[in-house]
Structure 1
Amino acid sequence: MRKTAAALTLLALLNGGAMAESVSLNGHSVSLEANQTPIHTAKNSQAIAQLPAGYRFAHPGQFTVAVAALNSPPLTVFSEDNKTLMGSEVDIARLVADSLGLQLNVVPTSWEDWPLGVASGKYDAAISNITVTKDRKARFDFATYRKDSLGFYVKASGPLHAITKAEDIAGLRIIVGSGTNQEAILLAWDQQNQAKGLKPFVPVYTKDDAAQTLALQAGRADAWFGPNVTGAWKAALTGKTRLVGSVDGGWPKAAHIAVTLKKAGGLAQPISTALNGVMANGDYDKVLSRWGENVERIDRSEINPAGLGD
């Protein structure tokens, strides 16, 4: 069986050279090979009717979506041409595009690129594991589609057994994405710790998944803190890392992942309606289940709910 080229490289790095056909996550067998087949849904006439009259998409007839090309399954992974992205984020984008009667146009981007691209109209939306936060709501609109759960993962043979509160990160070197809500949580915890006279934590910023894996396994970092579904994928695939704590993405409150849109651009309501449609017809569950993300399911999409910092 053929596998995606980039996925093979990633799986080999994570698994010490061995290849894996599938990963078992949350009671579901997740297969990169099988999941290349797109999941489509029907047009949603209600969502289409809610589009502003004469709305101009970035590309006529297309739903142009920025997706950070981080090669972090199950969220994103490159297909066999090393250009086309697949993963749960692309699947959600496709459900929205189909619901609106549009062709999906996925644009692989860097994490740093999507804010300006969405605000300028270069992209109609960003779907890239973006958490709703108070600060982001001042600049963007959101339509939620998944719970946000973050996990601390460490080297399986390492000495750490629990990271669940601020004091636990004192003095640790933690891999975290720059500009993410998980970084914001760590910085808030660190501020609390330093006020108590505890050692500061050291953020470790890496460029890609392979660098993160090598830093953790080589002992250059003590832990990785990021989307729990990504951490769970790696742990299930290799057995070389393990979960030592989880935190709601909106610490100390719950938070949600959302389709991110230009502020007051008119797309929040139709996209929320589209998401609620696929949640009702079962296609949303098909996407989450095949990527092992069913534990982060939500019952209904909301527009601009309370988030981190509210």
Structure 2
Amino acid sequence: MTRRSAFRNVLLGALASAFAMFGTAYAGDAFDLSREQSGRIRAQKNEAAIAAIAKDFKFVTPGKFTVAVSPGGPPLATYATDAATVVGADPDYASAVADSLGLELELVPVAWIDWPLGLASGKYDAVISNVGVTEQRKEKFDFSTYRQGLHGFFVKSDSVITSIREPKDAAGLRIIVGAGTNQERILLRWNEENVATGLKPLELQYYDDEAASLLALSSKRADVIVQPHAQLVYIASRDHNIKRVGTLSAGWPDRSDVAIATKKGSGLADALTTATNGLIGSGVYAQILNRWHLSEEALPKSETNPPGLPKS
């Protein structure tokens, strides 16, 4: 390696690090990703929720609410600027539920693929990590809902598209979507409906990564990007060049909710549902969602084991 090429590699590495730090700081204008989390919303003890805990339920660690979370990315759950502390909307919500139960929160970072086995084997009391309710999952776990499962329609900030609410609104549009995702499944049904009624078909586009998708949108090679709503909320706040024009339920045409998962029959689910409804009633729930720019995903009430996505 020549001295010039070595210097070039060092310079590129330094620039990459600088841009990464700048991106985090820029997003920090809207989202607090610090370890301290001084703005975290706390809750009062909820005696009704405590009373709803089954008498024979034993917490993994006495006095603590042990919760698994997968740090998949902001604003739901990610590592803070110290690269060790997990922060985000789900950790905030877990903290408020722990407060409601009069317990100390113990967060356990896990890989997404590992949470079902860990929960079934009793490694933690609950999973709060954007888990959607499905009929298949309900065979092994109980659920207490706490957010709507939404996908977002986002466009360039200067786009003439102002609203996408139903299939006809998307007719003829070039839409970026992930292959094999639930979003793609729904959009293919939208396309069938549009074509059957004589409207222009949707043009679905697929890219290998997020950066390529966003570049296609910014360069006007695509009109719309569809991803999980929370992800796009964060990107919009970070980049300031895309905007939301609609949301899509993950269970379209029905609603599909995100829930706390607990071991089936453990006796904790009803207590967590009661705790969540207490947070909704007190306003703490709305404050948490607003803090992470997710007010669109609010539920009017929590339910235990509602209908979930059907088995495929």
* TM-score, normalised relative to structure 2: 0.74
Cα offset, 1:239, TM superposition: 2.4
| Corresponding residue number in structure 1 for 2:22 | 12
| Corresponding residue number in structure 2 for 1:26 | none
User: Which stretch of the first structure deviates more once superposed, 167-176 or 290-299?
Assistant: 167-176
Q: Is structure 2 residue 271 aligned with structure 1 residue 260? A: no
Listed as ranges, the matches of 1:24-35 within 5 Å are 30-32=31-33
| Corresponding residue number in structure 1 for 2:103 | 102
The change in CA–CA distance for 1:169 and 1:134 in structure 2 (over 3 A counts) is farther
Q: Of residues 216, 241, 260 in structure 1, which corresponds to 2:213?
A: 216
d(CA) in 2 for partners of 1:142 and 1:199?
Answer: 35
Q: Is structure 2 residue 123 aligned with structure 1 residue 126? A: no
Deviations 1:110-142 (A, max 9, x none): 222222222222222111122222222222211
Q: Of residues 29, 32, 44 in structure 2, which corresponds to 1:22?
A: 29
Q: Is structure 2 residue 189 aligned with structure 1 residue 186? A: no
Q: Is structure 2 residue 282 aligned with structure 1 residue 281? A: yes
Unaligned runs of 5+ residues in structure 2 are: 1-17
The change in CA–CA distance for 1:277 and 1:36 in structure 2 (over 3 A counts) is same
Q: Of residues 25, 38, 52 in structure 1, which corresponds to 2:54?
A: 52
d(CA) in 2 for partners of 1:279 and 1:232?
Answer: 22
Q: Of residues 154, 177, 185 in structure 2, which corresponds to 1:174?
A: 177
d(CA) in 1 for partners of 2:266 and 2:295?
Answer: 30
* Structure exhibiting the larger radius of gyration computed from Cα positions: 2
Cα offset, 1:59, TM superposition: 2.8
Q: Is the 8 A contact 1:127 1:258 kept in 2?
A: yes
Output the aligned Cα RMSD: 3.6
Cα offset, 1:306, TM superposition: 2.0
Unaligned runs of 5+ residues in structure 1 are: 1-7, 24-29, 206-210
Cα offset, 1:250, TM superposition: 1.4
| Corresponding residue number in structure 2 for 1:67 | 69
d(CA) in 2 for partners of 1:67 and 1:133?
Answer: 18
d(CA) in 2 for partners of 1:131 and 1:85?
Answer: 20
Which amino acid letter does the alignment assign opposite residue 175 of structure 1? G
Deviations 1:153-197 (A, max 9, x none): 356689999876498699965237x7xxxx234235447869989
| Corresponding residue number in structure 1 for 2:15 | none
Q: Percent identity?
A: 34
User: Which stretch of the first structure deviates more once superposed, 186-195 or 145-154?
Assistant: 186-195
Task: Give secondary structure in 1 for the equivalent of 2:213.
Answer: helix
* TM-score, normalised relative to structure 1: 0.75
| Corresponding residue number in structure 2 for 1:152 | 153
Deviations 1:192-231 (A, max 9, x none): 86998989957657xxxxx52x222344996653332331
d(CA) in 2 for partners of 1:50 and 1:173?
Answer: 45
| Corresponding residue number in structure 2 for 1:113 | 114
Cα offset, 1:76, TM superposition: 1.8
